[in-house]
Amino acid sequence: MIPTRRLSTALIAAMTLLTAACAPSMERARVTAYVDPGTPKSLSGLTLSVRPRGSQAASLEWDRSRDRLASELKAMGATVMEPAETEATPWVISFTYGTDGPRMETTERPVMTGRLRRGPPPFFGDPWESQTFIQTTYIHWLVMTLHDGADLGERDPAEIRPISELRVETMDRSPDDAAALPVLLRAAVQAFPGREGSPSVIKVSPPPR
């Protein structure tokens, strides 16, 4: 018969492992921000619109991304105006995104050879040996800017200097920027307004696809 204390310890350990296995994975994002005086300290309570830059206005891909960003902004307490209602919006957000790479990273790792190499008696040689691994990675990035709606007027956001600029980067083995975009958008919204010129790393739970 298993002692009660030992059984309880085993059950706690099993539950801990199960909880860790079921916990959502977190993505790491590197954030760099540039903030002018007058930038809001939070997105909560702001009334804003998401406006395209240049040729983005004719892109269905950007339109879908705009809807996803609007959803993230609303979750943070912002009021997001519909595209047809954006003429007199107090604040205007725009964003661009892309992928840089590939980057080749070379690392040395110890690998178990599965055998003992004979060494000077009475010892045997080390069963580990170093192997070289080459990994291909891509940097996915997004730049989100905030403009004062009164200063911007009806102009393209690319034509005027923003009051806030936030850059988010993630690293992945896949070049698919469409798959990385939901995490980039969520990270940008959660990190706003960021710390002036001071890169930081945050963890973000990936949105459902």
Give the tokens for residue 133. Answer: 């691994």
The CATH code of domain 27-99+139-204 reads 3.30.160.670
Residue 170: exposure state from Cβ atoms within 10 A (0-12, 13-18, ≥19): buried
Residue 61, C-beta contacts closer than 8 angstroms, at least 6 positions apart: 178
Given a contact cutoff of 8 angstroms between Cβ atoms, the answer to whether 29 and 183 are in contact is: yes
CA distance readout (Å), 208 to 18, 195, 196: 21, 28, 31
- Per domain, the residue ranges of the chain are 27-99+139-204
Summarize the confidence of residues 25-34 as an average pLDDT. Answer: 94
Q: Which residue has the higher pLDDT, 122 or 79?
A: 79
Give the tokens for residue 190. Answer: 């959660």
pTM for this model (two decimals): 0.77
The pLDDT-based confidence of 16 (bands split at 50, 70, 90) is very low
The pLDDT-based confidence of 3 (bands split at 50, 70, 90) is low
